[in-house]
Amino acid sequence: MKMQAKRKEQESKWFLNVMGHVMFTYAFLVSTSGRGLEELPKPENVHVNSINMRHILRWSSVRVPLGEVSYSVQFQGEFERNHRKTWVAITECSSIRETWCDVTADISSDVGYDLKVRTELGNVTSEWANLNKLFNRKETNLTAPTLIAGVSGGSITLNVSELKKNINANIYYWKEGVEQQVMNVSLDKTQIPYYLSVEKGVLYCFQAQLYILEYNKVSSFSDIQCETVSNDTMSKGNSVKIASALLLGVCFLAASLFCIGRFCWRTRPVWFPKVSAPYVSNFENLQGEVLKEDYSQETCDTVEVWQQSETLLDVHESPTARERINSREGKEGGRPINSAAYGEVSQPQRSMQITYQKGYQSQMNLG
């Protein structure tokens, strides 16, 4: 019961606070709508903080019990002030919560600029708060730069901070022990980093200073930096660069080989297509089937071949052939002619038995 009572008490207090805030806001809005814009405070302490050609408009914050306010900034150059009688709103600095605005891009010439800022809360705005005097970018302040000296190969590299379009740097350097002989080199932002050739094995000291030639402005000096170039042609910086280049080369080669391997593996079926061998039955089974045929039951026929005899020739020769033989004997002068040449055989007739296999016999019958 006590817990419930305590919770109800907290809820009632919260409700009363909310209602009080709403009623106060309503009363404030009604009062300001009837009496004008003077009730919403305007910013104070409006000024330009310009360092190294960067111009920042600043003002004090405004606090009201109704909520968090916002701010808007406008500027007026010499042309707008004398000819057009207008103000130009800075888009980047409209309805912002911050109490500063970078106006470097809007202040683009060496003339007087007026700037103003106001407070905003919903539809209610305050009066404009202007600069106490016109601002000219020639009033910018130069700070001491940061100088960094290093060794690269046989040279000394120099880097200077805060170099911009209108800001250059003078770098003074000398040999250790000969401080009265000071040398200098002038640099702009396009020459950074600067490589200075010096004697090897000699310690050099460096110091930088910013300047704006058009405004006749100079900054204070930077801290002194001293460096020497050793007699070794290979410096630590070059060693690191070469090692990095070799490492990158190895990584690139490995990646290339990996990509080529994957490409070859993917295109392998194109260059080396798979060809399946034709189906061939088992030769052992085939030979067994062929040898199963039985030739033991085949029969052979007996053939009698008789040598030709004179009697057979006489029977088969035509009279015309015999007459030609007789006429040839007369021409040769009665010289006996071998009767064997004409198929006359004096030897007794003999019979020869030749056995042929069935396959060959069938071929003879076909002939």
pLDDT in tens, 192-250: 999 999 999 999 999 999 999 999 999 999 999 999 988 764 555 566 778 888 888 89
Q: Kindly report, residue by residue over 123-177, the tens digit of the pLDDT.
A: 899 999 999 999 999 999 999 999 999 998 789 999 999 999 889 999 999 998 8
Q: Which residue is associated with the tokens 């290093």? A: 150
Q: Per CATH, the architecture of 147-233 is what? A: Sandwich (2.60)
Q: Per-residue pLDDT averaged across 26-40, rounded? A: 53
Fold: same for 47-139 and 147-233:
yes
Where residue 4 falls among pLDDT bands split at 50, 70, 90? Answer: low
User: Would you call 193 helix, strand, or coil by DSSP?
Assistant: coil
Token pair for 182: 């000071």
User: Is CATH 2.60.40.10 correct for 47-139?
Assistant: yes
Task: Record the pTM.
Answer: 0.54
pLDDT at 36 exceeding the cut of 50: no
Query: Among 33-42, 158-167, 237-246, 327-336, which stretch is predicted with the lowest mean pLDDT?
Result: 327-336
Q: Which residues 6+ apart lie within 8 Å of 267 measured at CB?
A: none
Q: Are 96 and 70 in contact, with CB atoms under 8 Å apart?
A: yes
Give the domain ranges of the chain.
47-139, 147-233, 240-272, 302-366
Of residues 120, 130, 133, 142, the one with CA closest to residue 59? 130
Average pLDDT over the chain reads 76
